[in-house]
Amino acid sequence: MKVDRLGSNLKIVVDTLWGTARDYLDRFFIDHGCTVEVIHNFRDPYFGGYGPEATEETLQDLKSLVVSKGCDLGVSTDGDADRFGIIDSDGTYVSPNDTLALLLDYLIQDRQWKGSVARSVATTHLIDAIASKHGLPVLVTPVGFKFLAELFLDQKIILGCEESAGLSVQGHLPEKDGILTCALVAEMLATRRQPLKVLLADLYKTYGFRRSERHSYKYSEPLANRLRDLVAHPPRTFSGKQVVQVNTIDGLKMVLEDGSWVLCRISGTEQLVRVYAESDNVETLSKLMKSSEALLNQ
């Protein structure tokens, strides 16, 4: 962490969501010269009545304060501080996938990092586009940071990430760290001197626009059996397009002829079947999600 860059008149709101990052994340920014507002920085075992996750739904107070105080950035961590949530200066929630892509581009271009990167099978292909442009290999793992941790321990990767707001980098703990991610986002802003929306527009212009979505269905044996059958016998076409690549390391992932993709998998931590999709077109993305539901319920 290049902390010398953080004291660049950055105004940051920190929302620790009543969790374990309180007095750590906020203190880090204060100690390095940032102007900091802190909210929800006391212990609440009920996490304000929400699930202890840094999602767009749970960060409404953070959004409002960033805008009303005219701040550069809003950052948050979940209850145990291993995941992150990012708010731009205009109050826009920045998705984890977009945050991961921005940071990879920053570390490659501004920090001059070289080496392999890794992502879970459910994570945005923006990671692949960025790595490919700079000649870096991409390793793909099942969902779960433990698989990325193994690559860190073997010193095979410089960055590992997953779409559920998980990130770590070389030389750090081999585990996802929300505090680290928030600090890296602040460093990126202090270095590049542009709002996140401008950085994202430049990212899309360079590597292509991508939008992702995730939906969860309550687990049932018929639904799980249907998915297992699809894994064993993947369709050759989906949502009116040819399936050009199939990945079954964690459920069924189908990459389509236009580069969009769908992943259906059984959650390893909850009684859910999850569906992920990504496309360069919002209308296509909506169609992919509807087609996935139809496929699973045939």
- Residue numbers in the chain where pLDDT is lower than 70: 1-8
The CATH number, out of the four listed (3.40.50.720, 1.20.1050.10, 3.30.310.50, 3.40.50.2300), of the domain defined by the range 211-296: 3.30.310.50
Under the phi-then-psi rule, with left for phi > 0, alpha for psi from -120 to 50, and beta for the rest, what region is 40?
Answer: left
Same-fold call for 3-94 versus 211-296: no
pLDDT of 48: 83
Can you give the residue ranges of every domain in the chain? Answer: 3-94, 211-296
> Which architecture characterizes domain 3-94 according to CATH?
3-Layer(aba) Sandwich (3.40)
- Residue 118 contacts residue 139 (beta carbons within 8 Å): yes
Would you state the structure tokens that stand for residue 205, as one six-digit string? 């212009």
pLDDT of 2: 52
Closest CA to 74 of 140, 109, 60: 60
pTM over 0.85: yes
pLDDT of 8: 65
Q: How far apart are CA 172 and CA 252, in angstroms?
A: 32
